Amino acid sequence: MALYLITGIGGFIGSSLARELLRRGEQVRGVDNFATGRRDNLEPHPRLQLIEDTIVHPRVVSGLFGDFRPDVVIHTAASYKDRDAWQADALTNCVGSANVARACKDHKVGRLIYFQTALCYGTKPLEQPITLNHPLNPVNSSYAISKTAGENYIQLSGVDWVTFRLANIVGPRNVSGPLPIFFERLSQGKRCFVTDPRRHCWLGSTRP
């Protein structure tokens, strides 16, 4: 049985990963401040420990590691809900990610998994599909700027890391992206439209 620490465990991706890991018999500890996540995204489980707190404080983050010693850290916590809340984005996505990366380094974690946004390439990528040679250009959103700074700290940690530069993920408990937007528009009697972008890539120190 491996030990997994998940930040943002109350969110869409964090709770989906936790459910799958528990189904496989792993031990899971998670942290969430429930800024966008929900407590009822996860049912209580004997191998699940949920801590309500913020990754913005280094003391909180190092406390998550001390007595648990995770084999793998999955960092999904992110701030994005108000595009004008630059400070909130910088604190969670940049400072919080630096705290997580630093703790992974200090505690010699074996694997660090980061969930990045494809907006790190800018809203108008130079090529489709995007390849790893595409320059980073997260200039037009606080979310993208701070998430990219966070990714740099993940890399700086020297831990065996991987980042998934995702576009639009869909599934149960999804609260952002196209499906919630379509739902809201349809509920208001508005039309929906789609474009045809294709974006996918991964980047890591060893393998995906």
**Which residues here bind ligand NAD, judged by CB under 6 A?**
7-8, 10-14, 31-37, 54-56, 76-79, 92, 96, 115, 117, 147, 166, 168-169, 175-177
CA-based R_g, the chain, Å = 17
Q: How far apart are CB 189 and ligand NAD at their closest, in Å?
A: 25
Q: How far apart are CB 51 and ligand NAD at their closest, in Å?
A: 9
CA 30/CA 9 separation, integer angstroms: 5
Question: Positive or negative, the Cα torsion across 22, 118, 96, 101?
Answer: positive
Pick the closer one to ligand NAD by CB: 1 or 59: 59
Please report which helix (H) or strand (E) contains residue 111, including its range. strand 111-117
Strand pairing partners for 30?
6, 50
Pick the closer one to ligand NAD by CB: 92 or 157: 92
Write down the H helix ranges in 90-137.
97-106
Pick the closer one to ligand NAD by CB: 3 or 167: 167
Q: How far apart are CB 158 and ligand NAD at their closest, in Å?
A: 21
Q: Cis omega before residue 58 (within 30°)?
A: no
Q: How far apart are CB 100 and ligand NAD at their closest, in Å?
A: 10
Pick the closer one to ligand NAD by CB: 80 or 109: 80
Residues annotated catalytic, as ranges: 143
